[in-house]
Amino acid sequence: MRITVGKGSCGIAAGASEVFDRLEGGLLASDSFSVTATGCIGTCYLEPIVNVEADVEADTKVHTFVRVTPAAAAEILKFARNLPSDAGKYAIAPEDLDVLGGQQRIALRNCGVINPESIDEYMARQGYEAYQTCVQARTPEEVIEEIKISGLSGRGGAGFPTWFKWNAARGAPGEEKYIICNADEGDPGAFMDRALIEGDPHAVLEGMMIAAYAIGAREGMIYVRAEYPLAIIRLGKALEQAREKGLLGEGIMGRDFSFDIRIKAGAGAFVCGEETALIASLEGERGMPRIRPPFPAQSGYRRKPSNINNVETYANIPWIIRSGGAAFAAMGTENSKGAKVFALAGKIAKGGLVEVAMGKTINDVVYGVGGGITGGKAFKAVQMGGPSGGCIPASLGDTMIDYRTLAATGAIMGSGGMVVMDESTCMVDIARFFLDFTCKESCGKCTHCRVGNRRMLEILDRICDGHGQEGDVDLLYNLAVQIKDGSLCALGQTAPNPVLTTIRYFRHEYEDHILHKKCTAHHCKQLLTYTIDDKQCIGCTMCALECAANAIEGRFRQAHAIDQEKCDKCGVCAEMCHAVSVE
C-alpha cells in the first residue's frame, strides 16, 4: 500500500506540499505504507488530490480523495490504517471519475500515476523498453518507418509529419546532428508541456533518445522556459538518473551509439516557440526567426542538421515503438492519428489537462470531459490554438477535432490550448486581448508583423472604447490578410486569426460596438449605460453615497437618477442595488 499526493505546479499552488508534509510527518513506524509524490493527473480543479493505493489480491484498489486540506491528512492516515475516519467526505465524486474515463491517455499515461523523480517507477511501467529495443534490435530506418506507420503529426501546432522531419534530418549530409525539444510553451491558457514534464520527464527523454538514434545525433537540448522551475528540476533529476543507468553517455548499451542531453532555460519570449527563433536563442543570439529554406533538418543549430519536436510529440514516441505504429494509427481520423492533449481553461466547470482521441468534437471535450460551462451560463465560443489560433462559436460545437477540420473554421489545433468562453465574453475584446499579446511578443524583425498588428490593435482599442467608425471592420480584415501574407514567421502569419474569426462569426458584435455604441456582453466599460428604475428606487441614498464620481442625484425617499455625463462606468451602484440596470 502507498499514499500518493499530486505535486504538479497546480497541486502545489492549491496546497499539496502542506498536505504531503502532514501525511509524511504523521507516518508511524508500524505503518505498512509509504507517502510519495506524483505529478498532475489532469483534474486540476480537484487539487490537492491524494490517492490511497491498496493491494487487493493481484490488483490495486485506488481510493481517491480531492480538495484535501492539511487538516484532512490525519483522517486519510486513519483510513489507510483501516480505522474509523471522516475521510469519506473528501472522496472523489463519480462524475469526476468520468472525466478520466472518457479519455485516451498515451502521452499522459504516467502523469499522476508514478513518482516523476523515480526512474525505477518509470521503468516498472515499461519505461525505456522502447529505447532499448531500438538501439539493440532495430535499424534507424526501421524506427523511422514505425513512426511513419503511426501517422504521428507534430503536436507543437503545425501538425507536420514527424517521420518526414526525422527522415530529412537523417538524410542530410554531415556527421554532426542535433535533437531539440521545444518546451517553450507560451500560449495564454496552455500548460500541456509543463504538466507533462513535471509528471513524466522520462517519457520525454526516452522519445528524444529514440529520435537521436533514428537520425544519428550525439547531442540533444531541451529548450524550456525559465518560468517552469519545477519542470526544470525534475528534468535535471531525470537526466542524472538516466546517465547513472547508462542510458545516456558514450557507447550506450555496448553499441556504437553515444548521446547526451542538456537543458537550456529560455527567457520566456513567445516568438521562441518558432523553431528558427528557438535555435537562434540556443546559439546565444536574440530569438528572431530566420528565412526558410533552409529548414532546420538541413541547417539548424550551429548550421548543422537538427530535428525539433515539442514535448508531447516526444512523449508519444515510446508508446508507439512498444505498441506498434498501427495501434496508434488505429485511433483518430484519416488525417489526424492518435490522441491529443488539451489544456481546458476559461469558463469551464472542470478545468485541467485532458487527452482524447482525434475525431472527438469540441462539444465532446467541453461538455463530455470538461463538464460544461460554469455558473449555468451559455457556451459562446472556444479559442483554439492560443493567441495564434481562432475563436470557434458554440454553433460549430460539433466540429471534429483534427488538423484539417479545425483549419477550415479559421482556427488551428495549435499546441492544444482551449480557452472556453461563455455569454458574458465580449468577442471584440477577446480579439483585442490576444492581439495585444502577440504585439508585445513580436520580435519586430518584419514590418508587417511589427507595424501591421499594432495598427489593428489601435483600431480594436478604439472600437472597445466607443470610438469605432464605419469601415473599421473592413479595414481590420484587409490589414489582417496583408499581415498574414507578408509576415516572415508563424507568429505574424497567424496573429490576425483571432480578429478574422471573430469578424467571421461575431460580426454583429463589432457592428453593435461601432454603430450602436453597445457591448451586448456588458463587458466594454465605456459602452455601458447605467440607469435607475424610478419605480424600484426607494430613495435610500446608498448608491449616491458610494458613487465616487458624484454622478447620482436625488433626495431621501425619492427616486434617484444618474448623470450620464459624470458617470465613470465603475458599476458600484449596480452591485449595490437591484434598481440599477446596465445596458
Helix axes 427-441, 453-464, angle to 10 degrees: 150
pLDDT on residue 56: 62
Q: Of 32, 55, 45, 33, which is closest to residue 6 (Cα–Cα)?
A: 45
Going across the sheet that includes 219-225, the strands are 260-266, 219-225, 178-183, 306-310
pLDDT on residue 247: 97
d(CA 373, CA 350): 9
Average pLDDT, integer, range 574-583: 87
Is the pLDDT score of 158 beyond 80? no
Q: Of 388, 466, 317, 314, which is closest to residue 158 (Cα–Cα)?
A: 388
Sole residue written with cell 520580435: 443
Cβ-contact 194, 35 below 8 angstroms: no
Going across the sheet that includes 339-346, the strands are 352-357, 339-346, 417-422, 379-384, 390-393
| Count of helix runs (H) and strand runs (E) in the chain | 24, 17
Using pLDDT thresholds of 50, 70 and 90, give the confidence band for residue 57: low
Q: Assign residue 371 a region: left if phi > 0, alpha if psi is -120 to 50, beta otherwise?
A: left
How large a percentage of the chain has pLDDT more than 70?
A: 99
Using pLDDT thresholds of 50, 70 and 90, give the confidence band for residue 99: confident
Cβ-contact 441, 489 below 8 angstroms: no
d(CA 538, CA 557): 6
Q: How many residues appear in the chain?
A: 583
Task: List the grid coordinates of 504.
Answer: 467571421
Is the pLDDT score of 416 beyond 70? yes
Q: First and final CA of the chain: distance in angstroms?
A: 59
Is the pLDDT score of 186 beyond 90? no
Average pLDDT, integer, range 274-288: 93
Is the pLDDT score of 388 beyond 90? no
Digit-coded pLDDT (tens) for 498-545: 999 999 999 999 999 999 999 999 899 889 889 988 889 998 988 898
Is the pLDDT score of 75 beyond 90? yes
Q: Residue 38 carries which side chain, given as an amino acid letter?
A: T
Is the pLDDT score of 574 beyond 90? no
Digit-coded pLDDT (tens) for 112-122: 999 999 999 99
**Strand (E) positions, 49-111?**
50-56, 59-65
pLDDT on residue 54: 84
List domains and CATH numbers for the chain.
Answer: 2-98 (3.40.30.10), 119-329 (3.40.50.11540), 339-422 (3.10.20.600), 427-515 (1.20.1440.230), 528-582 (3.30.70.20)
Average pLDDT, integer, range 461-481: 95
Average pLDDT, integer, range 253-270: 93
Is the pLDDT score of 58 beyond 70? no
d(CA 540, CA 8): 51
pLDDT on residue 128: 97
Helix axes 427-441, 497-515, angle to 10 degrees: 130
Sole residue written with cell 510527518: 25
Identify any residues that bridge with 36 across adjacent strands, giving them in sequence order.
4
What are the φ/ψ torsions at residue 405 (nearest 5 degrees)?
-65, -45
DSSP secondary structure letter of residue 172: S
Digit-coded pLDDT (tens) for 307-348: 999 999 999 999 999 999 999 999 999 989 999 999 999 999
Chain centre to alpha carbon of residue 53: 29
DSSP secondary structure letter of residue 439: H
Higher pLDDT, 98 or 393: 393
Cβ-contact 212, 179 below 8 angstroms: yes
Cα 561-429-481 angle, rounded to 5 deg: 140
Using pLDDT thresholds of 50, 70 and 90, give the confidence band for residue 100: confident
Q: Residue 441 carries which side chain, given as an amino acid letter?
A: E
pLDDT on residue 436: 95
Task: List the grid coordinates of 84.
Answer: 474509523
What are the φ/ψ torsions at residue 265 (nearest 5 degrees)?
-85, 115
Task: List the grid coordinates of 387.
Answer: 493567441
Q: Of 50, 296, 312, 83, which is closest to residue 195 (Cα–Cα)?
A: 312
Cβ-contact 180, 282 below 8 angstroms: yes
**In what helix (H) or strand (E) does residue 362 lie, and over which residues does it extend?**
helix 362-363
d(CA 183, CA 273): 8
Is the pLDDT score of 59 beyond 80? no
Which are the contacts of 269, defined by CB distance < 8 A and separation ≥ 6?
Answer: 184, 186, 277, 281, 287, 441, 443
